[in-house]
Structure 1
Amino acid sequence: MILETGLAPIFATAAGLMGGVVLLAGLVGGASLTATTTSAMCQTQRPASASATLCGQFPDVIPVEGLAGPERGLIAAQAALLMRGVPYSWGGGGPDGPGFGIEHGAHIRGFDCSGLAEYAWAKAGARIGGHTSTQWNAGVHVPRDQIRPGDLIFFARDPARPATIHHVGIAVDASRMVHAPSTGSTVRTDTWVGDPYREGEFIGVIRPVS
């Protein structure tokens, strides 16, 4: 896990460039999107155990129609970061937030890796599906040296075979991701670059498009 102080400057700088960003309250009726401030989301949706470090840094509301790629990525990254501390639940979570999973996650309300990714990007107005196989095809492939916040970072048992993808994280920057690792853990931020396990399974990066 990284120091909280390492995250705020990333988003503060981006917010200055964009003139402010928002988090979206979620899909309403399966169709429309409602914009809300980060502060409002922190008060109404953020689990008590998650960190408040980034809450309230982006106060301006921007209509979803006016958001471009970088802004949407920042929204997705921020939404995922606000879920830190939520339990891992196999098959759990989706566009509306944490949910009960299946099998050994059936009694745990939380997220698995793809559920967290789906939730984060729903807040940015993109439907990417709830499974890594769908999410791998939900956008454009991005070179590793061009990763930006919100991009989806995928890992596979055999990096030559997309069919073996088993994990996804949401980029915080070029070297860190927020993800739901495994049963018994919680949503957290980790450095994946330089980690032999993650490096050995890295298969690629997708930037979702709506």
Structure 2
Amino acid sequence: MNQPNDLEYRIPIVDALNGFVQRIGQVMAWSNVLLIGIILVQVVLRYGFNNGQVYLEELIWHIYAVGFMFGLSFAITNDSHIRVDIVHMNLSRTAQHRWEIFGLMFLLLPFIVVIFLHSVEWVYYSYQIGESSQNPTGMPYRWVVKSVIPISFALLFIAAIARLIREITLLLHLAREPEEPYPGRVSMLRHLFRVQEQSDDVTRTTDKHGEG
């Protein structure tokens, strides 16, 4: 079924998950302002007073990593990651959803789980041995910056799950399957997964079985 170009689908459970990830991402984005400030201080100390600080140099690397790692999950919520769009855009709507589901389930999600599990071990080991910079004047508590990996990958997992729910729900929605009876105990869950079609001047709510 072809939909108007100005039509936007909204799924409450997906909006809730994406909103959680985006709020954290927006807060962590302020680390870029801090990063710029520290870079300016380091440049002034190094070239103005010939007194650059090693711990500031390392802090710059760490803050840059924070912005990058938390930006990964934020980009998924906005569909901003680079992919082979020239192929994707020429597929049918159904094929697009199927390929998205395949990529999420068999490529992205397994990768996230593997990195998350290993990174937890890295953080714990770093904390256990009291790891710090190899430079005597560098930063201590290396486990703090390493903890960014499991935290950011946990957010990445949430964003990927939200994307997977969206793709599956829209695939079923576009299929227009026959209406089936729903027991009362799942009515709330049904509402969470209901698709809302929203345009500039009108909003109507449908589920995967038809328009309501």
Q: TM-score, normalised by structure 1?
A: 0.30
Structure ranking higher in helix proportion: 2
Greater relative contact order: 1 or 2 (C-alpha under 8 angstroms, separation 6 or more)? 2
Query: Which protein shows a greater Rg?
Result: 2
Structure with higher strand content: 1
